[in-house]
Amino acid sequence: MSPHRRRTVPSNASDLRIAVMRLARRLRTERASDTLTPSQLAVLATLVREGPLCPGDLAAAERVQPPSMTRILNSLQNAGMVSRTKHPSDGRQVLYAATGVAEELVIRDRERRDNWLSQRLQDLSPQERATLEAAIPVLNRLALG
């Protein structure tokens, strides 16, 4: 650490942030699609996992503003990745669902990233893998909290 840099957080917070960012960046390079943005891919993954959702629920799930979600959904609809239908019980709302093509893309993307990470995990010791496994719930709490 530079002597000119003042620490305002515990050093492990900074180290963890850097490690998580590096891993996230590396996983992004393993994406199955070069034509979709990370935000578009995240929305498709949410729709595949959760099923049809209205734009407001998607915006909340992805932690983006509703106008941003509208832009993402419009671009995905134009690309044939989502379909739009009327809400069955609320005529003022619409639901978006991933198309079959989008589902295949999300599955391929997950498999590609999981395969890359599985190969890296094999290079670790059993103790290191156990440490990472124990950290998964904690990391999820940090990410969702």
Residue 4 included in any domain: no
CATH of the domain at 69: 1.10.10.10
The domain containing residue 111 runs over which residues?
34-144
Domain count, the chain: 1
The DSSP symbol for 78 reads: H
Check residue 92 and give its pLDDT: 87
pLDDT digits (tens, 9 = 90+) for 56-110: 999 999 999 999 999 999 999 999 999 999 988 888 899 999 999 999 999 999 9
Which of 13, 17, 15, 14 is closest to 25 using CA atoms?
Answer: 17
**Residue carrying the six token digits 């069955």:** 88
Residue 94 included in any domain: yes
Residue 11 included in any domain: no
Residue 89 included in any domain: yes
Residue 24 included in any domain: no
Q: Is 89 exposed, middle or buried (0-12, 13-18, 19+ CB in 10 A)?
A: exposed
Identify the band that residue 46 occupies on the pLDDT scale cut at 50, 70 and 90: very high
User: Distance (Å, rounded) from C-alpha 21 to C-alpha 37?
Assistant: 17
Residue 44 included in any domain: yes
Q: What would the mean pLDDT of 108-126 be, rounded to a whole number?
A: 95
Check residue 90 and give its pLDDT: 84
Residue 8 included in any domain: no
